[in-house]
Amino acid sequence: MCNLYNVTTNQEAIRAFTKALDRLGNLEPSLDIYPDQMAPIVRNIHGQRELTRVRWGMPSSQQAIFKAATKRADKLRAKGKEVDFQELLKMEPDGGTTNIRNTASKHWARWTGIENRCLVPFTRFAEPDPAGKVEGGRTPNAWFAGDESEPLMFFAGLWVRDWSCVRKIKEGMVTCDLFAFLTAEPNRVVAEIHPKAMPVILRNVDEIDLWVTAPWNEAKALQRPLPDDELMLLKQPKKAA
């Protein structure tokens, strides 16, 4: 599961690649993106492509939220506390789903139309590398990019507008725009580190146009691993500018 990526580029490059209107504000020269952070995306909105910032993490399924609320209610009852389960369920925090695999599920299928597709710019992405872990230490990240120059590429994403939920207890109920990107079977390069999945990556203008304009029965063909020779494991990612 990819829960960290980097964007080291400029807005002009993203605009040139995607033909998007820029409503982003200033983009940092190098930006590490973690779950639940605001991140640049290019989305379809009002019949246009718009470059803006959206919060990372699409709504989790009702089933997942129900299970989390049930678990929390059981813990409270075990402490002898009374529980209003419906209120607890309503206010159950949902940190969001960062990676989307099963686009055929009812939960995700409602957002696969053109109006909910987006492009997520990146220059490298990370996967935890268990082989590099030192006993008692943190699991280090392995970083992947198109090549050593870390060219601008895009994840194939989905987004939703004005979603009301509790992301964090201290925030309470909020309404915000959310996004996540698709995953697929890993290619050989990624599978050596993370054998479960890799992000769905769009490499050129033709794939970008297909993703944001084509009917779903055509666009879904892009949910596939990148060819092995078009991705590399970086020896050492470039430092932030």
pLDDT exceeds cutoff 60 at 111: yes
If asked whether residues 158 and 137 sit together in one domain, one would say: yes
If asked whether residues 159 and 202 sit together in one domain, one would say: yes
Q: Residue 115 in contact with residue 213, Cβ under 8 Å?
A: no
Q: Residue 238 in contact with residue 147, Cβ under 8 Å?
A: no
Q: Say what the pLDDT of residue 241 is.
A: 44
If asked whether residues 53 and 71 sit together in one domain, one would say: no
Domain that holds residue 84: 61-93
Q: Residue 157 in contact with residue 119, Cβ under 8 Å?
A: yes
Give residue 39's Cα distance to chain centre: 9
pLDDT exceeds cutoff 90 at 87: no
What's the CATH code of the domain at 207? 3.90.1680.20
Going by C-alpha positions, the residue among 110, 124, 93, 122 that lies closest to residue 160 is 110
pTM assigned to the model: 0.90
pLDDT tens-digit series, residues 116-129: 999 999 999 999 98
Sheet hosting strand 124-128, strand order edge to edge: 31-33, 5-7, 124-128, 141-145, 232-233
What's the domain count of the chain? 2
Buried b (16+ CB within 10 A) or exposed e, 226-235: beeeebbeee
Q: How far apart are CA 6 and CA 240, in angstroms?
A: 9
If asked whether residues 133 and 114 sit together in one domain, one would say: yes
Instruction: Identify whether 173 is part of a domain.
Output: no
Could you give the C-alpha distances from 141 to 49, 64, 121, 236, in angstroms and in order? 33, 27, 20, 10
pLDDT tens-digit series, residues 22-37: 998 889 989 999 999 9
**Of 75, 93, 111, which residue constitutes the final position of a domain?**
93
Lowest mean pLDDT among 93-97, 111-115, 187-191, 214-218: 93-97
Q: Is 224 exposed, middle or buried (0-12, 13-18, 19+ CB in 10 A)?
A: middle
Instruction: Identify whether 177 is part of a domain.
Output: no
If asked whether residues 154 and 215 sit together in one domain, one would say: yes
**How many other C-beta atoms are found inside a 10 Å radius of the C-beta of residue 75?**
11
Instruction: Identify whether 10 is part of a domain.
Output: yes
If asked whether residues 17 and 29 sit together in one domain, one would say: yes
